[in-house]
Structure 1
């Protein structure tokens, strides 16, 4: 079973290569590192950081040195984090991984990018009222798709083994933003409908598929308005697939084809450079349909699907993998991320049992979240689990 730990470039820069890679190899005993290449805004606590405890990550920043020739004339282009200065963490990590016989993965947040969304609102999703969701980029937008493909081309020069694609899909309304507020209860139906993209590119894709897209938009606006005006109506359930005489379901199918085709194009670009594409599905089986994630087709488009095995018991991890199998994704097509920290694991035996479950099911790859956000004792826990 292959193994790696997810980490930030700042972990490497702040601790230094000897300490950082020493912890990975000597304490955790993993065979690779999954380093964030483009990442969203965050505020995190770092238990074993040598100088600080709390760090902020910039919105939509890149942690490698973009090739200016590739991005000449582009509106959507990665902006290096100020935290890396004039260094290139990916080049440094690539050199160390090559020297130590480790694999390097590019953990890339594609469409959840506040920086680019606010700078270029027309590249963000638009709800049925035309409101742009500026924390995101729309997968149907041609500039967004070109941005994603060019990112993959960038990683080839670092000798990356796999691109871990996070957020290579749509997102819902409540995906997280600073002081995001909902004082009146929207209800699950209105919230779901407000997260569907009706930008010109999505409307065109649905129309080309024979869907009455404008009619769907009108029906969504009417339904949302009714739920916003009436507190009792907000809580009522609704069969979304019946909205607009069933056309909303066809509209969402078109959105899923948009995501699948983008994943296929990114996977093809990665394969052309000898890399794999791992599609990260954090929601899990049956929960990603509003995000455009159709698991059976995504599994065919990408080289691998990755899911979160965040659970307290080995049995719950087993059930998670089994649920993917019910949706057409076999265990051997999966990678699973585990958390060795106390929230999920009450001791080293717990993590070891989860790793044993994955091995027994034939899952070929396990990752651990997250190097900088865990105690050093949790890194030791990983090492004991991998040794069996």
Structure 2
């Protein structure tokens, strides 16, 4: 079973390559590192960082040095984080990984990019009223798709083994934007409908799939206005396949085609450069439909599916993997992320049992979240669980 730890480039910069990679090999004992290449805005607490405990991550920043010629004339292009200065953390990581016999993965956040969304609102999803969700990029937009496939091409020169593709899909209404506020109870149906994208490209794709996109948008507007006006109506349950004679559900299915085809294009671009594409599905089976996640189709489009195995017991981890098998994704086609911290694990034996469960199911890769966000004792826990 292959193993790696997810980390930020700022972990490497702040601690220095020797300490950073020494902790990965000597304490955690893993065979690789999954380094964030493009990441979203965040505020995090770093328990063992020598320079700062609280750090703000910039919106949609890149943590490598983009090839300027590759992006000439493009509106959507990666912008290096100010935190890396004139350094290239991926080049440093590539050299260290090769010297130490470790695999390097590029953890890449694609469509959750507030920097590019705010700079180019026409590339962001639009709800039924035309309001743009500026913290995201729309997977159906041709410029976004070109950005995604071009971005993959940057990592071959670093000797990257796999692209860990996060956010290669739509997002719902709630996605953790700072000071995100909902003072009236909206209800799950209202939130679901407000999260659907009706930009020109999504509507055109729906029409191509035989869905009356304008009728759907009108029906969604009417339904939303009724639910926003009446608090009793807002919390009433309703199945999306019952709205507009089932056309709303068909519209969501058409959106999934955009996500699947984009994933296939990015996977093809990665494979052409000797890399794998791992589609990161954080929600799990049955939770990603509104995000355009069709697991059986994505299992064929990507080289691998990765999910979060965040759970307190090995039995709960086993159930998560079994759920994927019911959706056509076999354990041997998966990677699983575990958290060694106390919210999931009460000690090395617990983590070792989860790893043994995954190995017994045939899962070939396990990753651990997250180098900078865990205590050093949790890195030791990984090493003990992997090697005894």
Q: Which TM-score tier does this pair reach, normalised by the shorter chain? A: over 0.9
Who is 2:341 aligned against?
341
How many pairs were matched up?
Answer: 388
Tell me which residue corresponds to 2:130. 130
Deviation at 1:53, TM superposition (A): 0.7
C-alpha deviations, 1:160-204, integer Å up to 9, x for none?
A: 000000000000000111100000000000000000000000000
**Cα deviation, residue 23, structure 1:** 0.2
Map of 1:250 onto structure 2: 250
Q: Please name the residue that 1:10 is paired with.
A: 10
| Cross-structure match for 1:142 | 142
Q: TM-score, normalised by structure 1?
A: 1.00
- Structure 1 residue 76 and structure 2 residue 70: aligned? no
Matched, 1:230 2:230: yes
Mind listing any 5+ residue stretches in structure 2 that lack a counterpart?
none
**Is there any run of 5+ residues in structure 1 with no aligned partner, and where?**
none
Q: 5 Å matches for 1:172-211? A: 172-211=172-211
Q: How far apart, CA to CA, are the structure 2 residues paired with 1:251 and 1:44?
A: 37
Determine the structure 1 residue equivalent to 2:289.
289
* Cross-structure match for 1:94: 94
Tell me by how many angstroms 1:385 deviates.
0.9
2:167, 2:381 → 1: CA distance?
29
User: Are 1:304 and 2:308 an aligned pair?
Assistant: no
**2: CA distance between counterparts of 1:239 and 1:293?**
18
Q: Secondary structure at the match of 1:170?
A: coil
Q: CA deviation at 1:250?
A: 1.1
Spell out structure 1 runs of 4+ moving beyond 6 A.
none
Shift of the alpha carbon at 1:227? 0.5
| TM superposition score normalised by structure 2 | 1.00
Alignment of 1:33-52 (within 5 A): 33-52=33-52
SS in 2 for 1:243: helix
**Which deviations, in whole Å up to 9, do the C-alpha atoms of 1:141-162 show, x marking residues without a partner?**
0000000001000011111000
SS of the residue 1:24 aligns to: helix
RMSD between aligned residues: 0.5
Q: What residue is the counterpart of 2:167 in the other structure?
A: 167
Question: Which secondary structure state, in structure 2, belongs to the residue aligned with residue 373 of structure 1?
Answer: coil
The one-character-per-residue Cα deviations of 1:106-132 (angstroms, maximum 9, x if unpaired) are 000000000000000000000000000
> C-alpha distance in 1, partners of 2:255/2:267?
18
Tell me, in whole angstroms, the C-alpha distance in 2 between the residues paired with 1:325 and 1:220. Answer: 33
What's the offset of the Cα at 1:262?
Answer: 0.2
Distance in 2, matches of 1:303 and 1:260, equals: 12
Residue 360 (str. 1) matches residue 340 (str. 2): no
Distance 1:158 1:376 in 2: 28
- C-alpha separation between the residues in 2 aligned to 1:265 and 1:386? 35
